[in-house]
Amino acid sequence: GAGVSQTPSNKVTEKGKYVELRCDPISGHTALYWYRQSLGQGPEFLIYFQGTGAADDSGLPNDRFFAVRPEGSVSTLKIQRTERGDSAVYLCASSPTTGTGGMRDTQYFGPGTRLTVL
Amino acid sequence: DAKTTQPNSMESNEEEPVHLPCNHSTISGTDYIHWYRQLPSQGPEYVIHGLTSNVNNRMASLAIAEDRKSSTLILHRATLRDAAVYYCILRDVGAGGTSYGKLTFGQGTILTVHP
């Protein structure tokens, strides 16, 4: 079946601009996660949705970052007044959270959106 | 989540076994050991997980020390497609038996596979 998809794959913007990054999770997955990965580092957690609500947004670095998931499926990560330090690969993952065994909380990642802020 | 320690890099030859170590001396009784890997220019992918007993699946084996303070991911015959960053992650299942929520990634081990 289809995996997690993210659009765009690449986004170049100028400092101070607003950007939106989209994530389409695997159909039926109730949990959705956003991570950010800088060059040479492991992914860093940003926010986690269970259904439509943000269950944990402790990783959002500041109030310029916001994410929504209005219908419990597609999610959009929004970054206002972008800064050069926001340049990174933004990864989205989803997990089923139903079923049996440890696989229900396995996270399935998309290919990421590479954001470059000039 | 408890901290894990992995070597920065390892090298292997194609078709040879690879043993990737992970130390987690502060692991708690409810922490599962998960391994993910990240191929170049891709998002991470799940490899395997376990609690106390050794585990096998189509991708790899996971050997867990008796005291659970360390574990080893075993790739039985490395291929060029196994070249990736391998992350060892602890996840607390808690009283509910689930570990929903964030994954805490470290630096991981960069595995290079030589032809």
Instruction: Dump pLDDT digits (tens) for A25-36.
Output: 999 999 999 999
Rounded to an integer, the average pLDDT of A95-102 is: 66
Q: How far is B26 from chain A (nearest CA, A)?
A: 21
CB–CB contact B43 A95 (8 Å)? no
The answer to whether the beta carbons of residues B27 and B69 sit under 8 Å apart is yes
Of the partner residues A43, A105, A110, the one whose CB lies closest to the CB of residue B99: A105
Rounded to an integer, the average pLDDT of B45-60 is: 93
Q: What is the mean pLDDT of chain B?
A: 92
Rounded to an integer, the average pLDDT of B28-50 is: 93
**What confidence category does residue B98 fall into, taking pLDDT thresholds of 50, 70 and 90?**
low
Specify the length of chain A in residues.
118
Query: What distances in angstroms separate CA B96 from CA A47, B21, B32, B93, B100, one per listed residue?
Result: 21, 29, 13, 7, 10
Distance CA B12, CA B9 (A): 10
pLDDT attached to residue B99: 57
Rounded to an integer, the average pLDDT of B52-58 is: 92
pLDDT attached to residue B100: 63
Indicate whether A93 pLDDT > 90. yes
Proportion of chain B above pLDDT 90, given as a percent: 79
Which residues of B are less than 8 Å from A107 in CB distance?
Answer: 36, 44, 46, 103
The residue of B102, B105, B107 whose CB has the most chain A CBs within 10 angstroms, and thus the best one to mutate to test that interface, is B102
CB–CB contact B105 A59 (8 Å)? no
Tokens representing A85 are 């330090």
DSSP class per residue in B7-66: -SEEEEETTS-EEEEEE-TT--TTEEEEEEEE-TTS--EEEEEESSS-EE-SS-EEEE-T
Distance CA A118, CA B101 (A): 33
pLDDT attached to residue A15: 98
CB–CB contact B104 A97 (8 Å)? no
